Amino acid sequence: MTLQEILSPAIFEAIQQQFSTTIDKIEFQATRKDFEGDITVVIFPLLKVIKGNPVDIGTKIGNFLVENVKEVEKFNVVAGFLNIVISDSYYINFFNSIKDNATFGFVSASANDTQVEKKAVMVEYSSPNTNKPLHLGHVRNNLLGYSVAEIIKASGKKVYKTQIINDRGIHICKSMLAWQKFGEGQTPESTGLKGDKLVGNFYVQFDKVYKSEIATLMAQGKTEDEAKKQAPIILEAQQMLLDWEAGKPEVMQLWKTMNQWVYDGFEQTYKNLGVNFDSYYYESNTYLLGKEVVQLGLEKGIFEKDPDGSVWIDLTPDGLDRKIVLRSDGTAVYMTQDIGTAIQRVKDFPDVGGMVYTVGNEQDYHFKVLFLILKKLGFEWAANLYHLSYGMVELPTGKMKSREGTVVDADDLMEEMTTTAKTISEELGKLEGYSDAEKAKLYKTIGLGALKYYMLKVDPKKSMMFNPEESVDFAGNTGPFIQYTYARIQSILRKADFDFKSVIFNAIEETLHPKEKELLKQVALFPEIIQDAARNHSPALVANYTYELVKEYNSFYQTVSILGEENQTKKIFRVQLSQKVADTIKLAFQLLGIEVPERM
């Protein structure tokens, strides 16, 4: 049982007995470092139902707890805060109960027995275009989506990871046309390039030719707007799109071939990044979805048809605007497609009861509208839709532009992180006895760990500046610092040449060093952190918890002797506690998609 679960009934009883009244809930918080105590009850909210001095109220509740709850040793009251000191025996019993639990903090999906909790969650992320490689922005998207999916899974839900690939449209035709005109039969095999990079090069080449043609037309007296519309290469791309929509065989074949090059390239990047998916949706299959739902909406009076035949929904009573869902020529808009895709996903995975969309914050309004329309259409699961809106990522050098080829390529970034990790590791000079293969694996583990941690420790809603070198620092709130602490603990465990795993401690006989108690308190927070992170869709909560745990461990490590402790019982306990901290670091980093090295 958690401390809150132990203390709450006793506090309710104390209030009933001492003040002849009842309250709905109790506000707990961690005791501030400058006061004695392990958990604090905030008295101020009680003043709504209990008249009196907060110190007197806190003192009466504190005395009741000391007399009636064996885990409560003593207390102190500071202003409106009741600081409670918990006995060492409680923490020792707690440790004995979790020390052999390999998945402490994780809840299995089968443990949730209500129908609502049994419903699965579908998390969408990545969702790239097939005209260019994945870039820095995609890296943040993938890391966020993957981590949120893993956290929700650890909180006790079944999770499906998915993406929708934007594989159709004028931007795809631009790459296809440029390859046709300038490619000279190049393939990933003939060039040695990943397929997504090869196709991306032709997208950039299209833009260069397009700009050149615009400049020529403007020199001939056309306005910029006229030149953009009349440039021969854009007219050819528009015709290719019409040919694709008409199913012209040679266009379809080229489209399938080039898209496959890109899919193969994406898969390699996903593997290197350590993310995966359970299902894939393709815009070429979904862009017609949703049209039949428009008819349903018209029949229900949710949508309305204008004189020109276009169909709209009026969301002005909800504080939004009037939104088109079908053009006058009968073609769907993105909103219609997203409505249809959401419905299709629940048909494909009937146990889905909610969805998370990992999409940048420039689409905030789109998702407000989408979710509201789905609610109005009467879908029960529409109440559980969430837009994991995140800020943009910039580098110290500024913003990125795909058309100009100035994006930071995801593969190049991962390679750079590995190289940076190698440089710093070699400077530290602690790799004696490592084979070249072991070194290469370690550099990748540190480099990717640095990248992922730096991205995920920031609240998703915030825009961020990514500094590669700063992220690989071996000190401070970084991935490598936490990985190093994990490796340090593994070194302690390897040196412990005695049986420390089977010993169970007697809570009555043993006492704790203050640093041991603080460390146990930090470990005990892990299950609650997972639940909070799942509710808030925030890997940052897990990342920063892990940093606080590591700081607490390093303080413990520097204050008390572990392997040098003369008392064998204390020595064994400290080794066991070290192992539990390492296990917790590993589980937390697993939720962030980060590996931990056994040696550094």
Q: Residue 497 burial by CB count (10 A; 0-12/13-18/19+): exposed, middle or buried?
A: exposed
Give the pLDDT confidence score for residue 400 in this predicted structure: 42
Q: How far is CA 42 from the centre of its chain?
A: 32
286: nearest Cα among 368, 460, 165, 374 = 165
Give the pLDDT confidence score for residue 505 in this predicted structure: 83
Give the pLDDT confidence score for residue 402 in this predicted structure: 42
86 SS3 class: strand
Element (H, E) at 440: helix 436-456
Give the pLDDT confidence score for residue 401 in this predicted structure: 46
259: nearest Cα among 210, 205, 206, 198 = 198
Expressed in angstroms, the distance from the first to the final Cα of the chain is 37
283 vs 285: CA distance, rounded Å: 5
What are the chain's domains? 3-86 (3.30.1360.70), 119-290+332-394 (3.40.50.620), 410-591 (1.10.730.10)
State the DSSP string of 213-263.
Answer: HHHHHHHTT--HHHHHHH-HHHHHHHHHHHHHHTT-HHHHHHHHHHHHHHH
Which residue in the block uniquely carries the two structure tokens 């603990």? 489
Tens digit of pLDDT per residue, the chain (600 long)? 889 999 999 999 999 999 999 999 999 999 998 999 999 999 999 999 999 999 999 999 999 999 999 999 999 999 999 999 999 999 999 999 999 999 999 998 775 555 545 799 999 999 999 999 999 999 999 999 999 999 999 999 999 999 999 999 999 999 999 999 999 999 999 999 999 999 999 999 999 999 999 999 999 999 999 999 999 999 999 999 999 999 999 999 999 999 999 999 999 999 999 999 999 999 999 988 898 899 999 999 999 999 999 999 999 999 999 999 999 998 889 999 999 999 999 999 999 999 999 999 999 999 999 999 999 999 999 999 999 999 998 877 654 444 444 578 999 999 999 999 998 888 877 788 889 999 999 999 999 999 999 999 999 999 998 888 889 888 899 999 999 999 999 999 999 988 888 888 887 788 999 999 999 999 999 999 999 999 999 999 999 999 999 999 999 999 999 999 999 999 999 999 999 999 999 999 999 999 999 998
Q: Are strands 81-86 and 120-124 parallel, antiparallel or unpaired?
A: unpaired
Bridge partners (DSSP) of residue 322 are 314
Bridge partners (DSSP) of residue 395 are 398
Give the pLDDT confidence score for residue 287 in this predicted structure: 86
Instruction: Name the DSSP letter for residue 498.
Output: S
Question: Can you give the C-alpha Rg of the chain in angstroms?
Answer: 29
* Structure-block tokens of residue 133: 């490689």
465 SS3 class: strand
Phi then psi for 324, rounded to 5 degrees? Answer: -80, 140
Phi then psi for 490, rounded to 5 degrees? Answer: -60, -35
Dihedral, CA of residue 72, residue 73, residue 77 and residue 81, to nearest 10? -30
From residue 45, give the alpha-carbon distance in Å to each of 81, 201, 419.
11, 62, 54
Dihedral, CA of residue 417, residue 423, residue 424 and residue 425, to nearest 10? 100
516: nearest Cα among 466, 435, 576 = 576
Element (H, E) at 552: helix 539-559
119: nearest Cα among 340, 373, 384 = 384
Q: Which residues contact 307 (CB under 8 A, 6 or more apart)?
A: none
Number of Cβ within a 10 Å radius of residue 461: 13
pTM here is 0.92
From residue 440, give the alpha-carbon distance in Å to each of 139, 421, 444, 479, 593.
22, 10, 6, 18, 19
Instruction: Name the DSSP letter for residue 331.
Output: -
26 vs 44: CA distance, rounded Å: 10
State the DSSP string of 138-160.
Answer: HHHHHHHHHHHHHHHHHTT--EE
